[in-house]
């Protein structure tokens, strides 16, 4: 996609970038990744196997609700693997514009890694009056210094056309989240929300718990009690379509009136939640509307959960996170046993963690406020094969806007 129109939209960003990067005077994007030679955030040649790089864009886009309504959104997209290229416009800028994703690209890490995460602010094309920076806030991460925290008052944020590389020394396993922390209520309501988890060093060992043998664990647990066979991350969230419409209309934003009009799993409402593929980008996204536009989707991540017990094993891990700015949500998996083994990126044990008293509990539902995560294990041994529903028990939110029978509901298909 090389439309003249989009290039003209990008030009102001290129100019802005010239003032923010002393490394490449003509380019707006600057990726720091040890061993990377072409700017695609993938180390070339031999390098420390514990080094992991990622490159995200921060910008805008459109998200399609299950009733067909298209909401203007902010968000992140994944530029990892895209080199600078030789065109006058940096291929990474080109790819990141209007590509905001719901949910943001999942950040999947392992204990012991050194992570270089570059964020490039590609600007909000639909709001040329805005000059908002963005940031990545790794929610729950114990930063050694505030500079990479993402909170604008205490750390660096990333202006339009500029890039910043965050560094994290990954030591603590668990289920986290990440989000932009600039004008947090606005940028989070607009959709700058992602899933992030850290796999424990114990992964790869073989442990038997309750007669089941595991090689993957949520935490370093000594006894295998957080073992699972298949893990799925599900982001609970909500949008207020009025807020998004006023945003696109360059109107004052009704912060005090934010309420849930669309409740979502992984940025989708039922029945889009059970679509195993991507939701095609909406027609209101100029990038998708341009013939040959390269933005095929703003919603690539399904929320359909499947478990084939013959090939995948019996125990399912749901990494649940709530990133709604206005609501608590309770969810249940009707007919399936839920055991909560972690909360807020911490194993449910008393002090000593691995050796402490086991505080995991069996339940039929979990309730998460904004910013909270739960690690829920579902042992399907003895459970009849079939389709089960995972949904919010806040039944008034089982809707897509004014359309009934939708919202935060998906299926767990067990074979």
Residue 236 is a binding residue for Cu ion (CB under 5 A): no
Residue 56 is a binding residue for Cu ion (CB under 5 A): no
- Binder to Cu ion among 65, 182, 378, 409 (CB under 5 A)? 182
Looking at the Cβ atoms of 182 and 320, the one nearer to Cu ion is 182
Choose the stretch contacting Cu ion; rule: CB under 5 A; options: 39-47, 64-72, 189-197, 380-388: 189-197
Residue 180 is a binding residue for Cu ion (CB under 5 A): yes
Choose the stretch contacting Cu ion; rule: CB under 5 A; options: 7-15, 103-111, 116-124, 131-139: 131-139
Choose the stretch contacting Cu ion; rule: CB under 5 A; options: 30-38, 140-148, 188-196, 346-354: 188-196
Task: Give me the residue whose beta carbon is nearest to Cu ion.
Answer: 180
Least separation in angstroms between CB 185 and Cu ion: 11
Looking at the Cβ atoms of 11 and 130, the one nearer to Cu ion is 130
Number of residues that bind Cu ion (CB under 5 A): 5
Residue 295 is a binding residue for Cu ion (CB under 5 A): no
Looking at the Cβ atoms of 258 and 333, the one nearer to Cu ion is 258
Choose the stretch contacting Cu ion; rule: CB under 5 A; options: 158-166, 181-189, 211-219, 296-304: 181-189
Looking at the Cβ atoms of 125 and 182, the one nearer to Cu ion is 182
Binding mask 8-37 for Cu ion (x = CB under 5 A): ------------------------------
Q: What angle do CA 314, 178, 14 make, to 5 degrees?
A: 130
Q: What angle do CA 404, 407, 410 make, to 5 degrees?
A: 120
Long-range CB contacts for residues 7-11, cutoff 8 Å, separation at least 24: 7/88, 7/89, 9/97, 9/125, 10/89, 10/93, 10/94, 10/97
Residue 211, burial from CB neighbour count under 10 angstroms (0-12, 13-18, 19+): exposed
Residue 264 is a binding residue for Cu ion (CB under 5 A): no
Tokens of 407: 């919202």
Least separation in angstroms between CB 386 and Cu ion: 42
Least separation in angstroms between CB 211 and Cu ion: 47
Looking at the Cβ atoms of 134 and 244, the one nearer to Cu ion is 134
- Binder to Cu ion among 52, 55, 69, 134 (CB under 5 A)? 134
Residues that bind Cu ion (CB under 5 A): 134, 180, 182, 187, 192
């Amino acid at each position: 996609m090389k439309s003249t129109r989009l290039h003209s939209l990008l030009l102001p960003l290129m100019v802005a970038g010239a003032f923010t990067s002393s490394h490449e005077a003509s380019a707006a994007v600057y990726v720091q990744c040890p061993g990377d030679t072409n700017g695609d955030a993938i180390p070339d040649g031999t390098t420390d196997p514990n080094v992991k790089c990622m490159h995200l864009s921060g910008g805008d886009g459109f998200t399609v609700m299950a009733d067909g309504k298209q909401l203007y959104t902010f968000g992140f997209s994944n530029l990892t693997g895209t080199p600078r290229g030789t065109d006058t416009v940096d291929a990474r800028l080109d790819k990141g514009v209007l590509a905001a994703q719901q949910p943001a690209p999942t950040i999947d890490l392992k204990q012991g890694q050194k992570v270089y995460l570059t964020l490039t602010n590609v600007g909000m094309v639909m709001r040329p009056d805005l000059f908002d920076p963005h940031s990545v806030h790794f929610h729950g991460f114990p930063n050694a210094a505030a500079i990479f925290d993402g909170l604008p008052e205490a750390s660096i944020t990333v202006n339009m056309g500029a890039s910043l590389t965050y560094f994290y020394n990954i030591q603590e396993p668990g289920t986290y989240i990440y989000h932009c922390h600039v004008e947090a209520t606005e940028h989070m309501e607009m959709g700058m929300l992602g899933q992030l988890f850290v796999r424990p060093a114990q992964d790869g060992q073989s442990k038997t718990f309750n007669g089941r043998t595991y090689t993957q664990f949520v935490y370093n647990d000594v006894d295998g009690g957080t073992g699972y066979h298949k893990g799925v991350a599900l982001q609970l969230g909500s949008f207020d379509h009025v807020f998004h419409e006023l945003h696109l209309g360059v109107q004052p934003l009704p912060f005090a009136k934010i309420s849930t009009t669309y409740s979502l799993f992984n940025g989708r409402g039922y029945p889009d939640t059970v679509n195993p593929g991507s939701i095609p980008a909406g027609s209101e996204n100029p990038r998708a509307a341009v013939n040959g536009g390269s933005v095929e989707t703003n919603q690539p991540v399904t929320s359909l959960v499947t478990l084939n017990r013959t090939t995948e094993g019996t125990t399912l891990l749901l990494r649940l996170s709530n990133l709604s700015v206005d609501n608590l949500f309770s969810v249940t998996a009707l007919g399936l046993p839920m055991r909560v083994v972690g909360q807020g990126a911490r194993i449910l044990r008393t002090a000593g963690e691995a050796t402490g008293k086991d505080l995991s509990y069996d339940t039929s539902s979990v309730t998460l406020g904004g910013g909270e995560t739960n690690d829920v294990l579902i042992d399907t041994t003895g459970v009849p094969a079939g389709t089960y529903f995972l949904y919010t028990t806040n039944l008034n939110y089982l809707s897509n806007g004014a359309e009934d029978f939708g919202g935060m509901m998906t299926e767990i298909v067990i074979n």
